[in-house]
């Protein structure tokens, strides 16, 4: 009996104390009449809320917490009556948790709504994409068919700013889509042509995530070098530009906006109506892909045209060229069937970078023009330059001389001579581009801090990486060191 009396007195005392201290009421109200939206922008987080017209709420309590190693630390708190938005601009790079709870006239609060946003600071152009329902991109099918059109804009790019227009968007890639975490690559199909950063005018663009390339420069190095010193032998190499991506208000990291590999006058200039075509060597075929396998077992995917009724015709052309390449008693010259310059240039770039995708397995493009088969465009170099464990990380040793069609080609003096000739014509330009990597990567300094705060992968393997250096600067050094050693080895071997 005494214990029960003691507990009752204690409870009454606690209640009296709380009442006398005039503490805020316990959260009692439902929050269904309150909505919250947060959006990352350069140097700010935009916080917006909306109160349903029939809700008796006079304002909101806004709390902003910085998230560090899973712990939240309060940095700002406000009661706001006369606005439905707030711009938080006093942050540092990283995640913030936003809490908003409504307050009614009696002083009661709703349960808090909670969302997270990433605060970033950048000097790169920013691409904003908003899907029609704000639910992101989770499929490799264009969203227009099932969810409607999205919107696209470019900001922080001076006179290259592009104001909001409609776009379709989908996920893309094989391993880059399924095996490299949540930083995904995307295809864009805009309603209107754009010409960003001086690149070729088009409505089709690619956002490369480069999730496994923690230097963020491998693909850029290859494309820049090829466009600079190999444009006389490679008809077309895509151009690209590093950007920041904000998708549905969520900062997604540093990406590369790249020209889509498509048939056009300013890209892959072939005439489909005249029987010319674009194909890709790709060992992974989706259910919707149209393609075939050559007599030597090379899997080909049709890129343009892509119709099933074109397969037999294109297969006939490729099988004939393949047979000619393998025929040691062929009548005629290799250059009667294939463009030796583009084959040699493509080989040298892929051999120099020791690209894991270049051994006739994946992402190898050919285009057929005027009765001749050309190699190119170059593509998919995020796992090159020592970024893949094992043999691919050794700067010594040839990778592609026994891969696919290169094996019979290297048995000919015609092709071996062309490779050596082209290497010696371009070797100084190649070396200069290698020597300039560190200087040319400096513009990514702010962006890489954002990227690796958003995706802290510098000390962990993303996808079969050779080494985990722990810093972006060390990742860039790895690229330079590999290419420097690789160049020296190739220069000696090709000139024996």
Residue by residue, DSSP assigns 343-388 as HHHHHHHHHHHT-TTTTTTSSEEEEEETTEEEE------TT-TT-B
Q: Are 355 and 221 in contact (CB under 8 A)?
A: no
Residue ranges, the chain, pLDDT below 50 = 15, 18-23, 25, 27
Whole-number pLDDT of residue 115: 97
Whole-number pLDDT of residue 18: 46
Q: Are 254 and 448 in contact (CB under 8 A)?
A: yes
Whole-number pLDDT of residue 286: 75
> Could you give the CA distance from residue 308 to residue 355 in angstroms, rounded to a whole number?
31
> Could you give the CA distance from residue 160 to residue 168 in angstroms, rounded to a whole number?
21
Whole-number pLDDT of residue 351: 97
Please report which helix (H) or strand (E) contains residue 219, including its range: helix 218-229
In sequence order, the β-bridge partners of residue 245 are 127, 253
Structure tokens, 249: 């208000």
Q: Are 31 and 113 in contact (CB under 8 A)?
A: yes
Helix, strand or coil, per DSSP, at residue 15: helix
> Could you give the CA distance from residue 226 to residue 233 in angstroms, rounded to a whole number?
9
Compute CA 75 distance to the chain's CA centroid, rounded to the nearest angstrom. 33
pLDDT in tens, 135-162: 999 999 999 999 999 999 999 999 999 9
Whole-number pLDDT of residue 25: 46
> Could you give the CA distance from residue 360 to residue 400 in angstroms, rounded to a whole number?
8
> Could you give the CA distance from residue 472 to residue 448 in angstroms, rounded to a whole number?
7
């Amino acid at each position: 009996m005494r214990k029960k009396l003691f507990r009752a007195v204690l409870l009454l005392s606690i209640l009296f104390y709380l009442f006398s201290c005039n503490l805020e009421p316990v959260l009692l109200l439902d929050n269904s009449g309150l909505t919250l939206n947060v959006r990352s922008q350069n140097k700010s987080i935009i916080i917006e809320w909306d109160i349903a017209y029939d809700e008796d709420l006079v304002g909101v309590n806004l709390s902003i917490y910085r998230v560090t190693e899973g712990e939240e630390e309060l940095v700002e708190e406000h009661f706001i009556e006369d606005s439905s938005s707030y711009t938080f601009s006093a942050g540092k790079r990283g995640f913030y948790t936003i809490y908003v709870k409504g307050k009614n006239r009696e002083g009661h609060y709703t349960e808090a709504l909670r969302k997270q946003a990433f605060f970033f600071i950048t000097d790169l152009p920013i691409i904003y994409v908003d899907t029609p329902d704000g639910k992101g991109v989770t499929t490799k099918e264009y969203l227009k068919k099932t969810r409607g059109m999205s919107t696209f804009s470019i900001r922080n790019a001076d006179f290259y700013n592009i104001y909001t227009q409609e776009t379709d968007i989908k996920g893309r890639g094989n391993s880059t889509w399924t095996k490299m975490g949540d930083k995904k690559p995307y295809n864009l199909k805009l309603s209107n042509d754009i010409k960003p950063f001086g690149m070729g005018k088009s409505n089709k663009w690619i956002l490369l995530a480069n999730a496994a390339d923690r230097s963020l420069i491998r693909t850029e190095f290859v494309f820049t070098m090829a466009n600079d010193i190999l444009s006389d032998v490679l008809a077309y190499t895509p151009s690209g530009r590093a950007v920041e991506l904000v998708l549905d208000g969520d900062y997604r990291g540093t990406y590369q906006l790249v020209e889509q590999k498509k048939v056009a006058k300013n890209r892959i200039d072939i005439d489909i109506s005249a029987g010319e075509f674009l194909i890709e060597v790709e060992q992974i075929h989706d259910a919707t892909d149209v393609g075939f396998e050559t007599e030597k077992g090379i899997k080909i995917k049709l890129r343009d045209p892509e119709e099933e009724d074109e397969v037999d015709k294109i297969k006939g052309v490729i099988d004939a060229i393949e047979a000619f390449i393998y025929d040691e008693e062929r009548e005629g010259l290799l250059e009667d069937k294939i463009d030796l310059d583009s084959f040699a240039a493509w080989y040298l770039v892929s051999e120099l970078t020791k690209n894991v995708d270049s051994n006739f397995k994946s992402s190898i493009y050919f285009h057929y023009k005027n009765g001749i088969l050309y190699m190119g465009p170059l593509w998919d170099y995020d796992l090159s330059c020592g970024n893949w464990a094992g043999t691919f990380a050794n700067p010594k040793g040839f990778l592609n001389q026994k891969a696919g069609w290169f094996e019979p080609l290297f048995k000919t003096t015609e092709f071996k001579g062309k490779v050596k000739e082209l290497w010696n014509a371009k070797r100084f330009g190649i070396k200069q581009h290698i020597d300039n990597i560190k200087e040319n990567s400096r513009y990514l300094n702010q962006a890489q801090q954002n990227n690796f705060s958003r995706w802290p992968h510098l000390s962990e393997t993303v996808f079969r990486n050779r080494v985990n250096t722990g810093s972006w600067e060390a990742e860039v050094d790895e690229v330079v060191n590999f290419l420097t050693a690789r160049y020296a080895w190739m220069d000696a071997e090709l000139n024996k």
